[in-house]
């Protein structure tokens, strides 16, 4: 059966009707892709606007809760405590009273903060509005040197000395003068030190010292407040001590001659000595242990500086001359607070030679005290020893028994008192300046105690003067 083939120009109406929607969809999709390429995704799906970084907040005043009336709680029956015995209610600080005292870091009336010490225009406030000066705000720092000295135990005729033993023991030393107890102090805290049962043993701990130091300044108001200690001995209770303050100053003795004067507290007329050391330039700190021990018992001391000492670069061993000793005697006799009839000389080793030259003449010293040590190269030998004829003298002979015996024989038949002193433990026999100073630290206190007894100054009175 033959089928007729439609002509080439014939349109298939069914085909067009089926393909038309697909062509339109394809055109629409292409248009969308072109638009996305040109304008981006945000053109169809815009991004939300960013939130502001700063928010405007409106604060609403909160409603205050009602204050309930205080209700007084009655005491339970049978309670013996009355309402009057209860602690008072805390009252908020208001305006300060007109008569109120200024708050100070120190409770002394002399330690109040003064307007010239303020740094806010000198505006002086009261109560917790006190404006401290920079000095008051700054924390003080202390060294071991600030703890050295003699402390008088309150309520007792007792002295505790803190000595410098760093060179030999590497620490400070505790010395109870009453019992002659000497101990090494071990640092436990910033200002707390402990000691053991003996000089060699620091454990177990049997006592402690807590330092409460005070720095003194001429411009401050707390110059009358001494440094203090809290001493917890092996047998309680705890004891409280205050550092003994001395008047120590450099003085001009005469033209070309300077010295260092240590005087005790108080105004009573005191005996005094001119300290004549052996040859060499030494600081007055080398003799301070004797000077302070004397001042503690009411005796003033003047140590002389040889005129050639200002140049430490030269290897010189200047010696105080007899003329210097006479000038020192005249200086002390004219000094207020010194009894001119009780001014003597204390000479050590080679210093005895010029000292002896001023005795047995008009205006000579009232007495002589001397320390002669066998190991010192400047000490007088037995064949050169002599004593004043018209003045009493006290001789401390530090050395071996045979040497002390020979020295005593040379002084026999004269009006002298001799005391043989054994070399204490730790006595340094080297002939060097440092050893010389260390030796005086060891023998000085014992010799001073015997000298005070010899002078009739056996103990210290409460004001620091001898009885």
Q: Domains of the chain: which residue ranges?
A: 144-243, 247-455
Contacts 24+ apart (CB under 8 A), 214-218: 215/140, 215/142, 215/146
3-state helix, strand, coil in the chain (%, to 5): 25, 20, 50
Cis status of the peptide bond prior to 18, with omega within 30 of 0: no
Is residue 98 left, alpha or beta, with left meaning phi > 0 and alpha meaning psi from -120 to 50? alpha
DSSP states along 304-344: EEPTTTT-TTS-------HHHHHHHHHHHHTSTTEEEEEEE
The 10 Å Cβ neighbour count of residue 434 is 11
Contact 351, 320 (CB under 8 A): yes
What is the Cα–Cα distance from 228 to 197, expressed in whole angstroms?
24
Q: What three-state secondary structure class fits 396?
A: strand
Going by C-alpha positions, the residue among 222, 215, 228, 212 that lies closest to residue 111 is 222
User: Which pLDDT score is estimated for 221?
Assistant: 47
> For the chain, which ranges sit under pLDDT 70?
1-23, 34, 36-139, 216-224, 267, 279-280, 308-318, 413, 433, 458-467
What confidence score (pLDDT) does residue 216 get?
61
Name residue 194's beta-bridge partners.
186, 208
- The superfamily in CATH containing domain 247-455 is Alpha/Beta hydrolase fold, catalytic domain (3.40.50.1820)
Question: CA-to-CA distance for 298 and 233, rounded, in angstroms?
Answer: 28
What are the structure tokens assigned to 364, written together?
């000579």
Q: How far apart are CA 51 and CA 83, in angstroms?
A: 63
pTM over 0.85, yes/no: no
Task: Confirm if 209 and 174 have CB atoms less than 8 A apart.
Answer: yes
DSSP H or E run through 53: none
d(CA 218, CA 92): 38
């Amino acid at each position: 059966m033959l089928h007729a083939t439609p002509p080439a120009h014939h349109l298939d109406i069914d085909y067009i009707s089926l393909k038309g929607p697909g062509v339109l969809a394809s055109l629409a999709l292409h248009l969308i892709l072109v638009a996305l390429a040109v304008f981006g995704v945000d053109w169809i799906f815009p991004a939300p606007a960013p939130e502001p970084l700063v928010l405007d907040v409106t604060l609403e005043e909160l409603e205050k809760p009602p204050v309930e009336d205080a209700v007084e709680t009655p005491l339970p029956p049978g309670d013996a405590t009355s309402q009057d015995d209860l602690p008072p209610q805390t009252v908020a600080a208001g305006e300060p009273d007109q008569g109120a005292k200024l708050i100070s870091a120190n409770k002394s009336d002399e330690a109040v903060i003064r307007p010239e010490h303020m740094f806010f225009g000198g505006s002086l406030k009261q109560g917790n509005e006190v404006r401290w000066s920079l000095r008051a705000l700054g924390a003080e720092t202390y060294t071991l040197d600030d703890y050295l000295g003699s402390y008088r135990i309150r309520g007792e005729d007792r002295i505790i000395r803190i000595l410098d033993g760093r060179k030999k023991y590497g620490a400070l030393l505790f010395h109870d003068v009453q019992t002659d107890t000497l101990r090494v102090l071990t640092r436990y805290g910033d200002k707390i030190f402990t000691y053991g049962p003996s000089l060699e043993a620091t454990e177990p701990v049997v006592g402690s010292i807590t330092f409460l130091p005070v720095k003194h300044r001429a411009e401050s108001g707390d110059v009358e407040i001494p440094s203090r200690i809290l001493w917890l001995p092996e047998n309680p209770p705890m004891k409280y001590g205050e550092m003994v303050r001395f008047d120590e100053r450099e003085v001009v003795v005469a033209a070309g001659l300077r010295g260092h004067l240590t005087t005790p507290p108080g105004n009573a007329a005191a005996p005094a000595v001119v300290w004549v050391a052996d040859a060499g330039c030494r600081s007055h700190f080398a003799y301070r242990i004797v000077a302070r021990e004397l001042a503690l018992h009411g005796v003033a001391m003047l140590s002389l500086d040889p005129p050639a000492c200002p140049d430490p670069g030269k290897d010189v061993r200047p010696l105080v001359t007899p003329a210097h000793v006479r000038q020192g005697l005249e200086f002390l006799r004219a000094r207020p607070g010194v009894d001119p009839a009780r001014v003597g000389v204390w000479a050590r080793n080679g210093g005895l030679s010029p000292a002896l030259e001023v005795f047995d003449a008009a205006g000579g010293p009232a007495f002589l005290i001397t320390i002669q040590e066998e190991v010192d190269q400047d000490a007088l030998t037995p064949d050169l020893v002599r004593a004043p004829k018209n003045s009493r003298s006290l001789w401390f002979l530090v050395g071996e028994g045979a040497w002390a015996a020979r020295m005593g024989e040379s002084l026999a038949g004269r009006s002298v008192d001799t005391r043989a002193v054994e070399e204490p433990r730790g006595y340094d026999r080297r002939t060097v300046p440092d050893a010389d100073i260390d030796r005086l630290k060891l023998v000085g206190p014992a010799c001073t105690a015997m000298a005070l007894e010899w002078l009739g100054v056996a103990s210290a009175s409460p004001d620091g003067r001898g009885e």
